[in-house]
Structure 1
């Protein structure tokens, strides 16, 4: 069997707020409770497991490859929320869309300061 990423824990101050932020933005099914966590499942069988933890929360980076139509919907939701976004992970190009490799990508923070990325081309 080859190695595959199955899940990772996302440390957060409020798992309900953080998990729902992600599923609402990406248009995913509601998170599922599993023990002390809320599980967000993706089409490729990987999950993010949201787990409450005391601050400080160390910022992590999570990137989501989307089809063009899904990107359009997620980006529209991001803008409708008034959420700041950047074209780069260093946050030097605000309110711009990165067109690297002929695709589109933007970066933004989740409620716990994790740097999220949505993009259309690898």
Structure 2
């Protein structure tokens, strides 16, 4: 069964781009346009991994991540930050990898395969 990746980003072009990239590599994808929708999708879809933009309207990446880690059932889902935002927010632990935009496909896909073999 294909592993499922939740992509949380407010940019429709990034959602499409990452969905296609992951699907071409055999992953199933689910998308959310902000942190509020992202947390709903986590509960409904039970993804194996999450890619997370930090700068979004409504509930941004920092609040999404904090909410995810408070949720006992889903707190251990691995997260990769894919964002153009500057310094690492303090809420993100050092074990959360960060990919800057523009996206390095090879680096991102290596992280994904390392985190959900």
How does the TM-score come out when normalised to structure 2?
0.30
More helix by share: 2
Report which of the two has the higher share of strand: 1
Larger radius of gyration: 1
Q: Normalising by the residue count of structure 1, what TM-score does the alignment of the two structures yield? A: 0.29
